[in-house]
Amino acid sequence: MKKQIIIMLFIFVFGIKGLCDELDREAVATLEVTKYVQEWTKDLPDKRRLKIFSYIPYVVEHSLKRDLDPLLICEIISKEGGWDIKAIGKRGEVGLMQTMCEANLKAFKQGYDMSTAEGQIVAGTTHLKDWVDKSETLEQAWTGYASGNNKLKWSKLDFRMREYRKAIDKFRDVSNEEDDGNIEYESRE
């Protein structure tokens, strides 16, 4: 009986620690994404800003669920779809993350409505995660995501991912300088 109590106590203590670690990870991601969106939307009308702020929980939830950097997702949304769920690209890409039919179909099959911000973020993060899993580098994953595996454009797309990384690193550096020291941001590779 004493052994069972010790085992249960051990599981309880370490189970709580794991939960706290996950909450900390989500809190840091939410703070980072909120700061990013504040900076990105500072010159927009209030109504548009509020709409974009309503997307933050989806960015955080679905990027962390797929082990992707939430700021990378913000950067993709900013540059590709301009935080506009009605955005349409030159090749028929749609929404916040400018996804094509294949990615949209996967999200739809998971029960998400592609006319919503959450559905579009699910489509984009799922599609990017698929490419991350089958690529050696994040640049290769981005190239596959953005080009549909069109090798003719790879060098241009590699450059874009490097620009995304620079923007994220610059944002994190500025955030760390402004921070009161209580939260540390870790750079994800």
C-beta of residue 85 within 8 angstroms of C-beta of residue 96: yes
Q: Establish if 155 belongs to a structural domain.
A: yes
Dihedral of the alpha carbons of 76, 79, 80, 84, in degrees to the nearest 10: 100
Q: Is the pTM higher than 0.85?
A: no
Whole-angstrom distance, CA of residue 79 vs CA of residue 96: 9
Token pair listed for 67? 């082990």
What's the domain range around 60? 28-178
Count up the domains in the chain and report the number.
1
HSE value, Cβ hemisphere, 13 Å, CA-based, for 93? 19
Whole-angstrom distance, CA of residue 89 vs CA of residue 52: 19
User: CATH number, domain at 113?
Assistant: 1.10.530
Q: Establish if 78 belongs to a structural domain.
A: yes
Q: Establish if 22 belongs to a structural domain.
A: no
Whole-angstrom distance, CA of residue 12 vs CA of residue 21: 14
pLDDT in tens, the chain (189 residues): 555 555 544 555 555 555 555 568 888 899 999 998 999 899 999 999 999 999 999 999 999 999 999 998 998 999 889 999 999 888 888 899 988 877 777 777 888 888 899 999 999 999 899 888 988 877 778 777 777 655 545 555 566 677 777 777 776 666 555 544 333 333 333
